[in-house]
Amino acid sequence: MLIKGYEVVVGLEVHAELNTKTKIYCGCRNSFGLEVNTQVCPICLGMPGTLPTLNEKVVEYAIKMGHALNCKINRICKQDRKNYFYPDLPKSYQISQADIPLCENGYLDVIMEDGVKRVGVERIHIEEDAGKLLHSDKFDGSLVDFNRCGVPLIEIVSKPDMRGSAEAKAYLETVRSILKYIDISDCKMQEGSIRCDVNVSVHKPGEPFGTRCEMKNVNSFSAAVRGIDYEANRQIEVLEAGGTVTQETRRWDDQKGISVSMRSKEDAQDYRYFPEPDLLTIVVPEEKVKMLKETLPELPNAKIMRYSKSYGLSRYDASMIVDVVEKSAFFESAIEAGCKAPKLLANWVLGEISKFMNEGTAITDTKLTPEKMAELVNLISDGKISTAAGKTVFDIIVNEDRDIAEIIEEKGLAQVSDESALEAIADEVLAANEKSVSDYLSGKTNALGYLVGQCMKASKGKANPGAMKEIILRKIGG
Amino acid sequence: MKLYEYSAHELSEMLREKKISSVELTKDILSRIDEVDGRVNAYLNVDPESSLKMAENADKLISSGEAVSRLAGIPIGIKDNISTKGVPTTCASKMLENYVPVFNATVVDKLSQAGGVILGKLNMDEFAMGSSTETSYFKTTKNPFDLSCVPGGSSGGSAAAVSCGEAVIALGSDTGGSIRQPASLCGVVGLKPTYGRVSRYGLVAFASSLDQIGSFGRNAKDVALLQDEISGHDPMDATCADRKYNSLYDNLSSDISGLRIGIPKEYFGKGIKPEVAESVMNAVNGLEKLGAKIVPISLPSTDYALSAYYIIACAEASSNLARFDGVKYGYRAKDCDGLVDMYERTRSEGFGREVKRRIMLGTFVLSSGYFDAYYKKAKLLQKRIQQEFTDAFKSVYAIITPTSPSEAFKIGDRISDPLAMYAADICTVTVNIAGLPGLSVPCGYSDSGLPYGMQIIGRKFDEQTILNIGYAHELDMGGYKRPVL
Q: Between the CA of residue B33 and those of B29, B79, B208, what are the distances in Å?
A: 6, 16, 32
Residue A143: pLDDT band (50, 70, 90) is very high
Mean pLDDT along residues B382-395: 98
Looking at every residue in chain B, the average pLDDT score rounds to 97
Domain ranges, residue B466: 3-258+399-477
Residue B309 lies in a domain: no
Residue in A49, A93, A272 closest to B204 by CB: A49
Q: Tell me which of B175, B323, B360 to substitute to probe the interface with A (most A C-beta atoms closer than 10 Å).
A: B323
Residue A136: pLDDT band (50, 70, 90) is confident
Kindly report the nearest CA distance between residue A44 and chain B, in angstroms. 12
Element housing B381 (H / E): helix B377-392
DSSP string spanning A158-193? E-S-EESHHHHHHHHHHHHHHHHHTT-----GGGTS
What angle do helix axes A370-381 and A325-336 make, rounded to 10 degrees? 60
Residue B64 lies in a domain: yes
User: Do the beta carbons of residue A278 and residue B238 sit within 8 Å?
Assistant: yes
Residue B26 lies in a domain: yes
Distance CA A272, CA A268 (A): 12
**Catalytic residue list contains B199:** no
**Could you tell me how many CB contacts below 8 A there are between chain A and chain B?**
101
Q: Is the pLDDT of residue B68 over 80?
A: no
Cis peptide leading into B208, omega within 30 of 0? no
Distance CA A43, CA A50 (A): 5
Distance CA B439, CA B470 (A): 8
Mean pLDDT along residues A160-165: 96
Q: What domains can you pick out in chain A, each with its CATH number?
A: 2-291 (no CATH), 332-411 (no CATH), 419-476 (1.10.10.410)
Q: How many CB atoms lie within 10 A of CB A29?
A: 13
Residues of B in CB contact (< 8 Å) with A are 81-83, 89, 91, 96, 99, 101-103, 105, 200-205, 207-209, 235-239, 315-316, 318-319, 322-325, 327-329, 339, 343, 363, 366-368, 371, 375
- Kindly list the residues from chain B whose CB atom is less than 8 angstroms away from the CB atom of residue A46: 323, 328
Chain B residue closest in CA terms to A84: B322
Mean pLDDT along residues A228-248: 95
Residue B65: predicted pLDDT: 84
Kindly report the nearest CA distance between residue A264 and chain B, in angstroms. 17
User: Do the beta carbons of residue B198 and residue B226 sit within 8 Å?
Assistant: no
Tens digit of pLDDT for each residue in A374-406? 999 999 998 888 888 899 999 999 999 999 999
Q: What is the CATH number of the domain that holds B215?
A: 3.90.1300.10
Of A67-81, A189-203, B313-327, the poorest mean pLDDT is in A189-203
User: Do the beta carbons of residue B77 and residue B119 sit within 8 Å?
Assistant: yes
Is the minimum CB–CB distance between A46 and chain B shorter than 8 Å? Answer: yes
Residue B292 lies in a domain: no
C-alpha torsion sign, points B96, B100, B105, B108 = positive
Instruction: Give the start-end residues of each E strand in B92-149.
Output: 117-122
How many domains does the structure of chain B reveal? 1
Helix spans in B17-91 (H): 22-40, 48-63
Instruction: Provide the β-strand partners of residue B212.
Output: B174
Tens digit of pLDDT for each residue in A12-40? 999 999 999 999 999 999 999 899 999 99
Give the distance between the most distant pair of CA atoms in chain A. Answer: 97
- Kindly list the residues from chain B whose CB atom is less than 8 angstroms away from the CB atom of residue A54: 238
Residue B109 lies in a domain: yes
Q: Which residues contact B263 (CB under 8 A, 6 or more apart)?
A: B281, B284, B294, B295, B296, B297, B399, B400, B401
Kindly report the nearest CA distance between residue B321 and chain A, in angstroms. 8
Residue B67: predicted pLDDT: 66
- Kindly list the residues from chain B whose CB atom is less than 8 angstroms away from the CB atom of residue A92: 319, 322-323, 325
Residue A420: predicted pLDDT: 81
Provide ipTM, 2 decimals: 0.96
Distance CA B167, CA B4 (A): 7
Rounded-to-5 percentages of helix, strand, coil across chain B: 40, 15, 45
Q: Tell me which of A45, A50, A142, A271 to substitute to probe the interface with B (most B C-beta atoms closer than 10 Å).
A: A50
C-alpha torsion sign, points A442, A446, A452, A455 = negative
Q: Between the CA of residue B45 and those of A253, A449, B5, B41, B154, what are the distances in Å?
A: 53, 99, 22, 10, 17
User: Do the beta carbons of residue A154 and residue A126 sit within 8 Å?
Assistant: yes
Write the single-letter amino acid at A219. N
Q: Is the pLDDT of residue A154 over 70?
A: yes
**Catalytic residue list contains B367:** no
Question: If we measure between CA atoms, which residue out of B198, B178, B177 comes closest to residue B91?
Answer: B178
Tens digit of pLDDT for each residue in B212-264? 999 999 999 999 999 999 999 999 999 999 999 999 999 999 999 999 999 99
Question: Rounded to two decimals, what is the model's pTM?
Answer: 0.92
3-state secondary structure of A19: coil
Of A410-414, B161-165, B473-477, the poorest mean pLDDT is in A410-414
Q: Is the pLDDT of residue B176 over 90?
A: yes
Tens digit of pLDDT for each residue in A308-358? 999 999 989 999 999 999 999 999 999 999 999 999 999 999 999 999 999
3-state secondary structure of A362: coil
Residue A463: pLDDT band (50, 70, 90) is confident
Look at phi and psi of residue B218 and say left if phi exceeds 0, alpha if psi is from -120 to 50, else beta.
alpha
Q: Is the pLDDT of residue A415 over 80?
A: no
Q: How many CB atoms lie within 10 A of CB A217?
A: 18
Contact between chains at B322 and A280 (C-beta distance less than 8 A): no
Residue B200 lies in a domain: yes
Distance CA B175, CA B161 (A): 20
Exposed/middle/buried for residue B63 (C-beta within 10 Å: 0-12, 13-18, 19+): exposed
**Catalytic residue list contains B79:** yes
Residue B320 lies in a domain: no
Distance CA A69, CA A395 (A): 41
Contact between chains at B204 and A93 (C-beta distance less than 8 A): no
Question: If we measure between CA atoms, which residue out of A374, A289, A217 comes closest to residue A62?
Answer: A289
Residue A44: pLDDT band (50, 70, 90) is very high
Mean pLDDT along residues B475-482: 95
Residue A192: pLDDT band (50, 70, 90) is confident
Q: Is the pLDDT of residue B349 over 70?
A: yes
Residue A389: predicted pLDDT: 87
Q: Is the pLDDT of residue A264 over 90?
A: no
Distance CA A7, CA A209 (A): 9
Kindly report the nearest CA distance between residue A30 and chain B, in angstroms. 19
Q: Which residues contact A367 (CB under 8 A, 6 or more apart)?
A: A397, A398, A399, A400, A401
Q: How many CB atoms lie within 10 A of CB A445?
A: 9
Residue A478: predicted pLDDT: 54
Residue B379 lies in a domain: no
